[in-house]
Amino acid sequence: MKKTENSYLKRSQSLIELIDKSPTPFHVVEEFKYQLKNEGYVELLEQDSWDLAPDGKYFVIRNGSSLTAFCVGIKMPEEAGFKIIGAHTDSPNLRLKPNPEYIKNGYVQLGVEVYGGALLTTWTDRDLSLAGRVLLKQKPVKARKSSRGKQKPLSAIGYGGASRLIKFDRPLLRIPQLAIHLNRSVNEKGLVLNSQNHLPPVFALSDGKIKSKKMLKELVAAELNCAPADILSLELQLFDLQKGTLAGANNEFVFASRLDNLASCHAAMSALLESPRKDAATRVLVFYDNEEVGSETAQGGSSPFLKDVLERISAGSQNPRESFMRGVARSLFVSADMAHAIHPNYSEMHDANHLPMINSGPVIKSHAGQKYATDGVSASQFEQFCLKAKVPVQKFAIRSDMRCGSTIGPITAANLGVRTVDVGSPMLSMHSIREMAGSKDQENLIRVFKEFYKPV
């Protein structure tokens, strides 16, 4: 295998490792926290006062599920601006309801809600497990497993307990499909799933006693080495245990869960961590939770998270407010989210002049109705980074008779008034439990992001 080929595949392997470790936004933020600390980045808390140094490296976490990391420029924002890459940590999935357990026809089942625009049929007949965050009454005395995943006490008013991450590594759940003999027209009419009736997974066989209803808390308590009574609340979601893999006759593909949008997070983080120090501009990345449900949360794209951090970076200037506004006016926001590759079996769903191909480089997304925030200037800026990085670039616009999806790009552009470009690697099976992308595109995107972050 050629050396260059090998470096592409290594990148994709590293992405697959991140995805396998990170079934939830909490886990991906925890993993990035570990990586940032390893590279000398200092964690800042939003409730503390900050004292930032030029060329200093910092990160901030909100709700354990959104993250901003930045390397302060050696010039003030009003002179050199911000180079920002944004992405999202969440993916569509099924989440447990607050009182999930019930018994029906001899089975113990768990009530679930749909989070985001999941392709629901892909969640059937999979080896599913549970992961997420557990809120405890008090800090457990000792952690049974490694210290990673153990979070600091949360500072919310009146809550003195601790939060712990959890990830079961064995199949606990399944949403069994109805046999074709009982659903004869399924192949012609498609599988129609009612979210309330058809999605609750089976968890166990019931012994007919009330004990079955305590099974989940007992399982969680045993995993965390605490008493079931210590558990105040669970934020658990389902995930597929099958690990990601390189695939295709020549390893040209990646098959994995949550490529949308952990591929963009991985690319932005790799670029930041590998970029040399001493840039005039302040390099920033922001990863938001809750993009898949509209971003309207305290840690979502519509929140002031990024604005707060940029304002505080500007606070060291003699005229902080003006420094922030002048800084934003000099900045570019790269909104990174996956793009729709041409599907060979459904090519009529694409505009014939905009057919992104897998492994042919990042895609610049435009939309006249501004569902993507790209304009001519931001597209040209991004295209130049691709040219300099010697990476091919593609363009996407939706069919004119179809509704366009959106990203954190337009939200951030409107909130901050920052010039924005919407980009992303091409993929298939978006929002399936198991998605598909190109094994070369991860390295392609990282090279372009590194060009963007290159000191000037």
Rule CB under 5 A: which residues touch Zn ion? 260-261, 337
Question: What does the buried/exposed string (b/e) look like for 69-91 if buried means 16 or more CB atoms within 10 Å of the residue's CB?
Answer: bbbbbbbbbbebbbbbbbbbbbb
- Residue closer to Zn ion by CB (options 200, 424) is 424
- Residue closer to Zn ion by CB (options 175, 339) is 339
- Residue closer to Zn ion by CB (options 201, 244) is 244
The answer for residues whose C-beta is within 8 angstroms of residue 192's C-beta and 6 or more apart is none
Rounded CA gap, 380 and 321, in Å? 29
CB of 126 to Zn ion, least distance (A): 21
CB of 232 to Zn ion, least distance (A): 31
- Residue closer to Zn ion by CB (options 92, 100) is 92
CB of 430 to Zn ion, least distance (A): 8
- Residue closer to Zn ion by CB (options 78, 260) is 260
Tally Cβ neighbours within 10 Å of residue 111: 16
CB of 132 to Zn ion, least distance (A): 20
Sequence-ordered alpha helix ranges (H) in 184-313: 186-189, 195-198, 215-224, 259-274, 305-313
- Residue closer to Zn ion by CB (options 54, 117) is 117
Q: Provide DSSP, 261-295.
A: HHHHHHHHHHHHHHS-S--SSEEEEEEES-GGGTS
- Residue closer to Zn ion by CB (options 30, 260) is 260
Cis peptide, bond prior to residue 261, ω within 30 of zero: yes
150 backbone dihedrals φ, ψ, rounded to 5°: -95, 120
Rounded CA gap, 321 and 311, in Å? 7
CB of 24 to Zn ion, least distance (A): 15
The answer for residues whose C-beta is within 8 angstroms of residue 403's C-beta and 6 or more apart is none
- Residue closer to Zn ion by CB (options 235, 260) is 260
Rounded CA gap, 391 and 219, in Å? 49
CB of 256 to Zn ion, least distance (A): 14
- Residue closer to Zn ion by CB (options 163, 425) is 425
CB of 31 to Zn ion, least distance (A): 19
Contacts 24+ apart (CB under 8 A), 380-389: 381/332, 381/419, 381/421, 382/334, 382/421, 382/423, 382/448, 385/448, 385/451, 385/452, 386/361, 386/362, 386/448, 386/451, 388/451, 389/447, 389/448, 389/450, 389/451
Rounded CA gap, 240 and 232, in Å? 26
Structure tokens, 361? 């480089």
CB of 88 to Zn ion, least distance (A): 6
CB of 278 to Zn ion, least distance (A): 33
Q: Which of 286, 238, 281, 278 is nearest to 261 (CA)?
A: 286
Centroid of chain to Cα 79: 32
Rounded CA gap, 445 and 385, in Å? 10
Contact between 256 and 16 (Cβ < 8 Å): yes
- Residue closer to Zn ion by CB (options 91, 323) is 91
CB of 427 to Zn ion, least distance (A): 10
